Amino acid sequence: MDPAPASRAWLVWGVGVAVYLLAVFNRSSLAVAGLIATDRFHISAGQLSTFAMLQLLVYAGMQIPVGLMVDRFGSRTVLTGGLLVMSAAQTGFALATTYPEALIARVFVGMGDAMTFICVLRLVSAWFPLRRIPLVTQLTGNVGQLGALFAAVPMTWALSHLGWHAAYLIAAGAGPVLLVPMLLFLRDSPGSRHQRGTALSLPDLGRNLRSSWAQPGTRLGFWVHFTTPFSATMLALLWGYPFFVEGEHLSDGAAGSLLSLIVVANIVAGPVLGWLVGRHPWHRSSLALVIVAAIVLCWTVVLLWPGHAPYWLLALTVFVAGCGGPGSMIGFDVGRTSNPGHRLASASGIINVAGFVAALITIVAVGFILDWRTPGGGTDYTDAAFHWAMSFQYLLWALGVAMILRQRRVVRARVQRASVDSGDSMVRAVL
């Protein structure tokens, strides 16, 4: 990679991460509107969870195709398409008057959202020196998560004071505004505005994906991303607000403040984890396991607390769960160091599927468990129903931790064999 002026690299990154921030905002904008959407479209908790389910299903399903598209057509082209799709979809959601219309709009919100993050990761790899990539990757996640903060606070205000139509039309209008600096300043690499990969046939694409998945580091990154962020995603995207308001009997303002702590956690933990990963790359999965253990411990205390959990405990739990977002970036760093440059976006797409599949499963399960445990149906959810629903997370944590440990053993065995074959007597505790 040709060295790029630092100012130009940060400018390109800033434009790209602004689009990602908007994508997170669009993704999270339904979280504070969940109860309003229930009344607006006359739907149950299971139907409400379908909004997020379809959006995440599309997002997760698009990750591998988007990774292949970025490897082939470059970040600039794919990011432009994602921005346009998101803006059109949010406009459709603002104007939707029926449940099916709103569902279709959220599907396309998920499609546009899917075309952002991998593009920005590719820009980071193209524009920054290797020693800075872990830190800038964490900063990408941090700044992007400000979109969830804007959804938790300004979007709550807009829905209350401006109404459904105006709030979502304003959100849709941000896309065309960002399109201008993107077209002016964004370049795929220091050497070219548009960077194109080799055209591949379908069999070649299949071989690329199989090669990426065959790397143990890609599989390890997949399970790290599966296990660390889904709890915070579930809270931020749909069920946090109802849980705090109806399950823990907090005010609307208090619930919104708690959700904003997810962003605070990203801002605080991201640079720290980026520094730790850069300094101790051989212990990345151990760091991810520590984060998961902390999240599990906090949720356990909340769910076992007699009566309603105190505000400080809920705040601590949300903050610690929010650290799972920066923790999930460890998965991308493992994938980056395990794959050649021409497969980087494809491997990132495979890894990025994981966390959203876990979040999708959790969101749907919480909705159906709430309906199951609520007497007589309806939306008057009991404290016990929420405790049942939130306990579902333990199944995915158990699966994820087991797979991280399994794939780490595979990676360690491979590194040990490589060390012996190369005559290197220093076999470190890797990953």
pLDDT tens-digit map of 95-123? 888 888 888 888 898 889 888 888 888 88
Note whether residue 304 is domain-resident.
Answer: yes
**Nearest-CA neighbor of 28 among 134, 143, 150, 131?**
150
Stretch among 165-174, 274-283, 387-396 having the lowest mean pLDDT: 274-283
Q: For residues 208 and 223, what is the distance between their CA atoms, to the nearest angstrom? A: 20
Check pLDDT > 90 for residue 299: yes
Check pLDDT > 70 for residue 316: yes
Note whether residue 421 is domain-resident.
Answer: no
Stretch among 52-56, 185-189, 364-368, 385-389 having the lowest mean pLDDT: 52-56
- What local confidence, expressed as pLDDT, does residue 405 receive? 93
Which tops the pLDDT comparison, 171 or 83? 83
Note whether residue 428 is domain-resident.
Answer: no
The pTM for the full model equals: 0.72
Note whether residue 197 is domain-resident.
Answer: no
Which structural domain range is residue 215 located in?
7-185+202-414
CA 241 from centre of chain: 18
pLDDT tens-digit map of 71-85? 778 888 899 999 999
CB distance 26 to 130 below 8 Å: no
Q: For residues 21 and 17, what is the distance between their CA atoms, to the nearest angstrom? A: 6
What are the two backbone dihedrals, phi and then psi, of residue 32, each rounded to the nearest 5 degrees?
A: -85, -5
CATH number at residue 95: 1.20.1250.20
324 falls in which pLDDT band (50, 70, 90)?
very high
Note whether residue 426 is domain-resident.
Answer: no
Read off the pLDDT of each residue in 63-78 and give the average, rounded to a whole number: 82
Read off the pLDDT of each residue in 269-296 and give the average, rounded to a whole number: 85
Note whether residue 349 is domain-resident.
Answer: yes
Question: How far apart, in Å, do the first and last CA atoms of the chain sit?
Answer: 26
Note whether residue 430 is domain-resident.
Answer: no
Domain count, the chain: 1
- What local confidence, expressed as pLDDT, does residue 402 receive? 95
Using H for helix, E for strand and C for coil, what is the string for the chain? Answer: CCCCCHHHHHHHHHHHHHHHHHHHHHHHCCCCCHHHHHHHHCCCHHHHHHHHHHHHHHHHHHHHHHHHHHHHHCHHHHHHHHHHHHHHHHHHHHHCCCHHHHHHHHHHHHHHHHCCHHHHHHHHHHHCCHHHHHHHHHHHHHHHCHHHHHHHCHHHHHHHHCCHHHHHHHHHHHHHHHHHHHHHHCCCECCECCCCCCCCCHHHHHHHHHHHHHCHHHHHHHHHHHHCCHHHHHHHHHHHHHHHHHHCCCCHHHHHHHHHHHHHHHHHHHHHHHHHHHHCHHHHHHHHHHHHHHHHHHHHHHHHCCCCCCHHHHHHHHHHHHCHHHHHHHHHHHHHCCCCHHHHHHHHHHHHHHHHHHHHHHHHHHHHHHHHHCCCCCCCCCHHHHHHHHCCHHHHHHHHHHHHHHHHHHHHHHHHHHHHHCCCCCCCCCC
Q: List all residues 6 or more positions away from 57 whose beta carbon is below 8 Å from its beta carbon.
A: 110, 360
Stretch among 76-85, 300-309, 343-352 having the lowest mean pLDDT: 343-352
Percent of the chain at pLDDT > 90 equals 18
pLDDT tens-digit map of 178-235? 989 888 888 877 776 766 656 556 676 677 777 777 788 889 999 999 999 999 988 8
- What local confidence, expressed as pLDDT, does residue 199 receive? 59
Read off the pLDDT of each residue in 29-52 and give the average, rounded to a whole number: 72
Average pLDDT over the chain reads 82
- What local confidence, expressed as pLDDT, does residue 397 receive? 96
Note whether residue 275 is domain-resident.
Answer: yes
